[in-house]
Each structure stands twice: as structure tokens, then as C-alpha cells.
Structure 1
Amino acid sequence: MSALLEVAGVSVAFDGFKAINNLSFEIEEAELRAIIGPNGAGKTTFMDIVTGKTRPDKGRVTWGPSNISLLRKSEAQIARLGIGRKFQRPTVFEDQSVFDNLVMALKKPRGPMSAILYRRDEADTDRIHALAEEIGLTKELARRSGELSHGQKQWLEIGMLLAQDPQLLLVDEPAAGMTVGERQHTTRLLRDVAKTRAVIVVEHDMEFVRALDCRVTVLHEGSVLAEGTLDHVTQDQRVIDVYLGRSGER
């Protein structure tokens, strides 16, 4: 079975600095994967390449069973293929209700006339309520999004991504700034989402990664340093030397 996403031999340099160095990476359908590594390891650049924000100097990035090259696609085209990205800071329409945020995110034609002529139907309403239940915001649907807690805004943004029906979600440091209860809810949410689609989580918090209970990829200097369970990679002396020993996290 071919991978959902394959990154093969990818390198990119900025002003002579190799941010990504012969990186190869695969993720399957309905897989949850955590990516960890020190600052400057290439985690953000990896996501930039997958989503079309950065073009590599060499290598290939292919998508789906048809092995579509993402390197010839724009950011918008890549999103339409089924790749969604959530940045560390949540970006929601704070003056709009939770319900309206989800409505605006639904997978619909995006032309000017389509937006003008759009009328919400029963299927759209049912989809919004299903999404709200999935992300745990059913009781907040009528609430203005700016009034939500930090964790709730993160869940809303995940819901807005899910409204696009992506096959792969890239999620950047979702646990940052959350309460213990919010972190537990986020763990359950991401694990549930990964039952039907692929999810890549970039994270520094080792306890959160442990709770995800998934395969872990360690990046260092733009390459894969180690891969496996969290226990496996945290016992790797190379990982201890370049990341865990430096941060004091074990």
C-alpha cells in the first residue's frame, strides 16, 4: 500500500543554511504521528514544504495513491487536495459565533457568486452540529468566538479544518498554553480524528506526546534522527545528546 504522503530526498537551504537536508518521511492513511526535535530542526520548514509555502531545492513530495506531485501545486491547490494546517496560534473570526465560524469553513465552492448565492440548508446545519459535537463545542455554538478560552479556540480551529474534510491535518504545538483539562480533551480529539484521517502533530511537550501514544519522528538538522515509539526514541543516545539532554526533558 502506498503512503498517503511521501517526502523523499528533500533539501532546502536559506542563505546557505540547510533547513532541510535530504529528508525522507512517510505517513499512511488514518495514522497519528508526532514530530519532535530541537529548535531549528526543520519542523516548521517541513510543514511549509508540504503545504506549498516553501519550494525545496531538490527531492519530491507526492500525495495520495496517484502520487500527485505537490511541488507543482499552489497552497490553495494543496489545501483543496485534502491537506489542512493549523498554526500554533488559533486564527478564528472572533466577532462571529462558533456556529458561523464553522459555516464559513464548510467545503463549498469559493467563487464570489457562490458566496453571494449561498443559502444554508439542512445538510449544512446537520454537519455543523456534528462538527461541534466532535470538537466538544456543542454548548458554545451561539457564543461569540472571541469569548472562548484559548483551548476552545484551538478546538474550533480544528473543527474549521475538519469542515474542509481533509485527509491530512498538520497541527503545530496544540498543547501550548492549555490547562490540564484542555490538554486531555485535545489528546482525545486528535486521537479520534486520526481514526479516519492522517494527523501530524508537531510538539515540544513530551507528556502530551506520550498521551498521544503514537509513532514519533525526531528531526535534527533537517533530517530524521530517530523514529519509533516515544520510549524507543527517548532512549536513543543521539536523541538524548541533541534534544533531551539539552532541554532537560526525559
Structure 2
Amino acid sequence: MTEIPVKIPAEPKSAPKAPPKHAPVPSARKDTLLYLDGVSRSFDGFKAINELSFVLMKGEMRAIIGPNGAGKTTMMDIITGKTRPDKGDVFFMGDVDLTKHDEPTIAQMGIGRKFQKPTVFETQTVADNLLLSLKGERRGIPALFYRSNKPDRQRIDEILEVIRLERRRNELAAFLSHGQKQWLEIGMLLAQDPKLLLVDEPVAGMTDAETEETARLLRDIAVDHSVVVVEHDMGFVRDLGVKVTCLHEGHVLSEGSLDHVSADPQVIEVYLGR
């Protein structure tokens, strides 16, 4: 009896797996708030940022020091979307590629920036400056229909306490001292509920007493926010008591405690010894 061969049907090919909607975050930046790797930026042949790598963890405050032209401002311009890097990675909250977003979008994501010179509404009261800055639409047509509410008033009270201006709430901002205007602008940033504050030379032009109080103010803020402070005043940096990064020629020259960085021969040569 002749056997009839039985044809076994081939197993159906499995459908190709769809790629994940979001690629897994590399472990190197998984728990970071801010992650810069190999970032460079040139202007007319001058490398303002040169293979810069910088990592800020969630809840951390960091001080940035370095000589003029070290790349501190350009670094903050890149983080906030004002300037695009020529190359390198810039990530926020682990997986948000900041190089693909513009300044307004990055600000809405939770990155607030304070420039060296305070910019406040001098013809408005201290409290109204904060009200205008609260997260949400407060300008244009929506402002015409805005009505004060309890949550907004409570938030303003909280910020006034943090920035040491409770007793000046009903005074015009024009009558504040230079240092108090700096505090008010920091408060205006806080009103936007940022995840990260970039603060540029906050104590320039302040009295010694204001400088000491600003260090305490920023330490208070750092309890609930991540903060990057650019500053030249080494006494102020010491009062902050945080990790220090020294930039030079667009890259990290030294990093660690202030004592460690201050003792670095390269830092002494290019910055502290001047």
C-alpha cells in the first residue's frame, strides 16, 4: 500500500510588532530633569559651547561659575530654546527633546528664566505683578473678565511669604529696592509653577544683607523646585551650599563642591586667580 504524503500547513507568519509610541528613555537620563550631552554651538567660527555635557537631577540646585565668555549664557539660551545647538542632545524630564521646541513652548513645559536685570511692572503693585504672572491667561481679553478667586489669592500670599515681600504687597513695584525687585521677579517666575528655574546673577548690585537673604530665599525655593544659578559672587555661592560646575571655553572645566572646584589648579588659573 502506497503512503500518501500528508502536507503539513506552514505556521502563519506572525505580524510584525508595531514600534512603541515612545522609545525607551536611556538609563543615563532616565531620572534626570535636565540632560545635555555633547552639545556644541558656534557663532562665526567661535565655539561658544564645545562638547558640553551637563546633568541636573530632579530636585537639585546647582551653581554655575566661570569667566566671561565661558558659555554660561549660551548654555541657558540653548536650554530655553532661544538658541539651537549645532549638535548634541538636550533633554528635559528624561524624554522631552528641547531642541525640537521653541521658547514659548519650553516656558509652558515648566522652564522659567530670570535674567540679570530685573523686569517688573513698576506701575503695578507687588501683588498685581504676581497676579499677572500666575499660570494661566491673565492678559488681553481674558483679563477683562477675570475675577479674583480664593486659590489665586492663597497662591499670591504663599509667594509673597517666600520672597519676603508680604509687607510690601500693596506698594508699587517702582518703590522697591533693587534687591527687592529681584525677589519680585523670582516670585513672578514661581507664579508660573515651573519645574526648573534658571537664575542669572541674582545678587549683582545687592547689599550684603540682601545677598545673604537671597541665598536663604533660593534655598527655600529649592525645597520644591530645581534651580540653576549663574553667579560670580563666591561668598554667595558658598552660602547656597550646593554642587558647583565651572565652565571654561564652552565645556565643563571642574565640578563638585565649592572647596573642590576652588582648589582645582585649572580653575584658579583661568578664573579665580584673575
For this structure pair, what is the TM-score category when the shorter chain's length is used for normalisation? over 0.9
Equivalents in 2 of 1:108, 1:15: separation in Å?
39
Q: Which residue of 2 aligns with 1:108?
A: 136
Q: State the Cα distance separating 1:11 from its structure 2 match.
A: 0.3
Q: Which residue of 1 aligns with 2:72?
A: 43
Gaps of 5+ in 2: 1-29
Equivalents in 2 of 1:96, 1:114: separation in Å?
18
SS at match of 2:199: strand
Q: State the Cα distance separating 1:114 from its structure 2 match.
A: 2.7
Question: Is structure 2 residue 107 aligned with structure 1 residue 79?
Answer: yes
**Aligned runs of 1:52-201 on 2, under 5 Å?**
52-65=81-94, 67-109=95-137, 112-201=140-229
2:199 and 2:227 in contact (8 A); partners too: yes
Query: 1:94-137: per-residue Cα shift (whole Å, max 9, x none)?
Result: 01000100000000136744333222211111111111011100
The amino acid of 1:7's aligned partner reads: L
The amino acid of 1:86's aligned partner reads: K
Q: Which residue of 2 aligns with 1:17?
A: 46
- Normalised by the length of structure 1, the TM-score is 0.96
Q: Which has the larger radius of gyration?
A: 2
SS at match of 2:273: helix
Q: Which residue of 2 aligns with 1:29?
A: 58
Query: 1:157-192: per-residue Cα shift (whole Å, max 9, x none)?
Result: 000000000010000001111111111110001011
SS at match of 1:88: coil
2:32 and 2:93 in contact (8 A); partners too: yes
Gaps of 5+ in 1: none
2:84 and 2:99 in contact (8 A); partners too: yes
The amino acid of 1:240's aligned partner reads: I
Distance verdict in 2 for CA 1:111–1:128, change over 3 Å: closer
Equivalents in 2 of 1:68, 1:200: separation in Å?
19
2:138 and 2:146 in contact (8 A); partners too: no
> Which structure shows the bigger proportion of residues in helix conformation?
1
Computed over aligned residues only, the root mean square deviation of the Cα atoms, in angstroms, reads 1.1
Relative contact order higher in (CA < 8 Å, ≥ 6 apart):
1
Equivalents in 2 of 1:224, 1:154: separation in Å?
28
Q: Which residue of 2 aligns with 1:3?
A: 32
Equivalents in 2 of 1:173, 1:223: separation in Å?
19
**Identity level (%):** 60
Equivalents in 2 of 1:109, 1:3: separation in Å?
30
Q: Which residue of 2 aligns with 1:237?
A: 265
Question: Is structure 2 residue 231 aligned with structure 1 residue 211?
Answer: no
Equivalents in 2 of 1:178, 1:112: separation in Å?
35
- Normalised by the length of structure 2, the TM-score is 0.87
Q: Which residue of 2 aligns with 1:223?
A: 251
Equivalents in 2 of 1:233, 1:154: separation in Å?
28
Q: Which residue of 1 aligns with 2:18?
A: none
SS at match of 1:4: strand
